[in-house]
Chains A and B, each alone.
Chain A
Amino acid sequence: MNHSLPSLTHLAGKPFWRRPATSQVFLAGIASLGAMAAQAETITVATVNNNDMIIMQGLTQEFEKAHPDITLDWVVLEENVLRQRMTTDIATQGGQFDVMTIGTYEVPIWGERGWLEPLENLPEEYQVDDLIKPVRDGLSHEDTLYALPFYAESSMMYYRKDLFEQAGIEVPEQPTWEQVRGWAEQLNDPDNDMAGICLRGKPGWGENMAFLSTLVNTYGGRWFDMDWNPEINSEAWKEAISFYVDLMQNYGPPGATSNGFNENLALFSRGNCAIWVDATSAAGRLYDANASEVAEQLGFAPAPVAETPKGSHWLWSWSLAIPASSEHKEAAQTFITWATSQDYVKLVGETKGWTSVPPGTRESTYENPAYQEAAPFASFVLDAIRNADPNDSTLEPNPYVGVQFVAIPEFQAIGTQVGQMIAAALAGDMPVEQALDQVQGATERNMKRAGYIK
């Protein structure tokens, strides 16, 4: 689609003296010809600010020790800022970054446009087959891998074992949403700051819509039919969203429309929620007695289901990719294969503790007895990720990749708009049906304008 861009770059702006890197090399070269040869290649890594990435940043020295010819330069930004920053750079072939931290949403889109370097010649010892299959599939476009997973997550249900025991509730192997509603009703106790259930309410395609897409999936709905017609006001959507709004209005915490992942994590770990359905990556933190008051009482279950188990839990991974505009592709590949290798997992486990290991990417991590012992939630996470198929996530077939999102460039805007309307319904500003009808119309217009439907 945008294949003209790389060639444009070559034509437009590359006389050597105009590029700062080259001119620096040029000047430095005149000054000290000999010293240059020994100087290391610097690669710029753009990444998000979260625990796993901070650990990776902290291990920079280990990498540089093993590869003295490469130095790492970090650019850490908040997720939304980073996404905008990287999109600008990659769409204009700016070449400012050598490694980008991107999610399963971007990889197929950017891969298709030729913006990312295909990762076809990975070294034998990297053991690409050890990467968990759905994660690998999510980072591929037409069977070509475009990014290596740094960590992956699905979603599951957390609950308070102590409260459930007191109330005499037994959680079955696979809970249903109807059961969850009953439990939430039973345990809801607003006078003691205890919400029956906490769920995401903050609008955004990666916030409330990530969770709500899985809820719609399990109620048998989908975002688009095979001809890209939106189905946002279908029966399944109405049923799922009405269920959610009713559940949260009756048994949710106050002000739920401002609760995203972080806010719910804080609520649950302070003991203000009986049930929480969200990312598996929260398990490590909830289980850490230093950060959570409920570490001892933490129970796990698979994400609840309704009509179908398909798409009832999501799949997300933060992964490392090399933009096609990078001038240090080889060094960049050396780095990303190091940071996603079995050895890296071992290094983190041994130096930072096994609960800090980046989860969800390699089968071998889950076979490791040290990890199994440190992380009792490991098998749930592995099952959830293994059973999340980004290519087949809804009851009826759909044309898109993604469980809790649709991997098309238009989805960010569509998802956020739908999320805002549902938040309005949750706040009681309008009935669910009206909210869904409105966004159905808006999405139809969007899809027509983008040329998906006539």
Chain B
Amino acid sequence: MNTTTTAKTAVAPAHVSIGDVARAQRWRKVGMALLGWAVALLIFFPIFWMIITGFKTETDAVADPTLIFSPTLESYAAVQGRADYLKFALNSVAVSFGSTLLALLIAIPSAYAMAFLPTKRTKGTLLWMLSTKMLPSVGVLVPIYLIFRDVGLLDTRTGLIIVYTLMNLPIVVWMLYTFFKDLPKDILEAGRMDGAGTLQEVWYLLLPLTLPGIASTGLLSVILSWNEAFWSLNLTTSNAAPLTAYIASFSSPEGLFWAKLSAASTMAIAPILIFGWLTQKQMVRGLTFGAVK
């Protein structure tokens, strides 16, 4: 077995011309591109289906799936007539960006400490932080609800920002920690030789050098907060209700609602989709940051 394989590989180059190699490479490229497209389409299909369902009538939406129908805006009109989209959208923006900023403010110093000044308990602390993500949210719903009731944070954006910050903090710290760790210590040391203090070191060296990483961490945190539904549904009523609560109000146990729900969902994901598209470069750069360097 082994000998034949070796023989074949050894023999092959002699028969293969440069043109063959180029052709094979081209086919491989085409194949990979096709595979990439297939995976992308597969992932995008539910979103695509939601978007077109939003333009159907309620009866078309539950009829046999088809791509041929006469598009209508009636669901969008109905959705807009029943709830103030802008109010919910502004809450979503405030809460997801607010919590991300707060999380970064807390996480950057702590990730710095863990990456550059590790102690023997650093690993344990990191794991412990991650373990808090393993508790199902509903398990702490009642205590948090009671605390929020007593300090007057129910149905406030501040309350949601606090909860989201705490929720995303472990992930944000972990991501920043890995980015910071990849940074050669020599660079910071050189800075220190030139007389930079800790703050200057962070501000002039660490942050600019790891900016793609910080940006992608921030983006992830924004997206996670934007999509979070459990806490936003349970801790808000009307004043601070974000878009997840907006979507939830169009699902119904009685009567047809798929078209309206799809229209509402499309409107709810539109801002973050556009935002994600605009910042795509940062995202990809950040996510592949360690490997490219």
Contacts and interface: CB of A to CB of B under 8 A. Distances in A.
Interface of A: 9, 12-13, 18-20, 23, 44, 46, 48-51, 54, 57, 73-81, 84-85, 88-89, 91-97, 260-262, 265-266, 270, 281, 285, 291
Contact of A81 (B154, B248, B254): B248
B62 interface: yes
A94 B149 contact: yes
B233 A18 contact: no
20 contacts: A12-B146, A12-B150, A13-B152, A46-B237, A49-B251, A51-B254, A57-B82, A73-B237, A73-B238, A75-B237, A75-B249, A76-B83, A85-B234, A88-B142, A92-B145, A94-B145, A260-B253, A262-B254, A262-B256, A281-B254
A191 B251 CA distance: 33
Contacts of A44: 237-238
A50 B251 CA distance: 9
Given A50-B255, A94-B149, A266 B248 contact: no
Nearest to A20: B152
Nearest to A54: B82
Nearest to A263: B62
Contact of B253 (A73, A78, A270, A285): A78
Interface string B242-286: 000100111111111100000000000000000000000000000
Given A13-B150, A291-B59, A79 B253 contact: yes
B233 A77 contact: yes
A50 B248 contact: no
Contacts of B82: 54, 57, 76
Nearest to A8: B146
B253 A261 contact: yes
A18 B152 contact: yes
B141 interface: yes
B156 interface: yes
B151 interface: yes
Given A46-B237, A291-B59, A13 B149 contact: yes
Interface in B136-158: 141-142, 145-146, 149-156
A85 B233 contact: yes
A153 B150 CA distance: 39
A92 B237 CA distance: 15
Interface of B: 59, 62-63, 82-83, 141-142, 145-146, 149-156, 233-234, 237-238, 241, 245, 248-257
B142 A92 contact: yes
Contacts of B250: 49
Nearest to A97: B237
The 10 A-B residue pairs with the shortest CB-CB distance, nearest first, are A13-B150, A78-B251, A76-B249, A49-B252, A50-B254, A79-B253, A20-B152, A18-B152, A96-B237, A19-B152
Nearest to B59: A291
A77 B248 contact: yes
Contacts of A88: 141-142, 145, 234
A96 B249 contact: no
Contacts of B234: 84-85, 88
A291 B254 CA distance: 13
A12 B254 CA distance: 40
B233 A49 contact: no
Given A73-B238, A93-B149, 16 more contacts: A9-B149, A13-B150, A19-B152, A20-B153, A49-B251, A54-B82, A75-B241, A75-B249, A76-B83, A77-B233, A78-B249, A79-B253, A88-B145, A262-B255, A270-B63, A285-B255
A18 B150 contact: yes
Contacts of A85: 233-234
B81 to A, nearest CB: 8
Contacts of A91: 142
A17 to B, nearest CB: 9
Q: Among the interface residues A51, A94, A97, A281, which one has the most CB atoms of the partner chain B within 10 A?
A: A94
Contacts of A262: 252-256
Contacts of A48: 252-253
A330 B149 CA distance: 22
A123 B234 CA distance: 35
A78 B150 contact: no
A140 to B, nearest CB: 25
Contacts of B252: 48-50, 78-79, 262
A23 B253 contact: no
B253 A50 contact: yes
A266 B256 contact: yes
Nearest to A285: B255
A308 to B, nearest CB: 29
A270 B255 CA distance: 13
B72 to A, nearest CB: 14
Nearest to B254: A50
A453 to B, nearest CB: 28
A96 B154 contact: yes
Nearest to B158: A20
B142 A23 contact: no
A92 B149 contact: yes
B254 A77 contact: no
B248 A51 contact: no
Q: Among the interface residues B63, B234, B252, which one has the most CB atoms of the partner chain A within 10 A?
A: B252
Nearest to A206: B253
B62 A266 contact: yes
Given A76-B249, A78-B253, A95 B152 contact: no
Contacts of B237: 44, 46, 73, 75, 96-97
A49 B264 CA distance: 14
A75 B145 CA distance: 18
A139 B270 CA distance: 43
Contacts of B149: 9, 13, 92-95
A94 B256 contact: no
Nearest to A13: B150
Contacts of B152: 13, 18-20, 23
B58 to A, nearest CB: 8
Contacts of B256: 262, 266, 291
Given A13-B150, A20-B152, A94-B149, A77 B255 contact: no
A85 to B, nearest CB: 6
Nearest to B251: A78
A149 B83 CA distance: 25
A9 B63 CA distance: 51
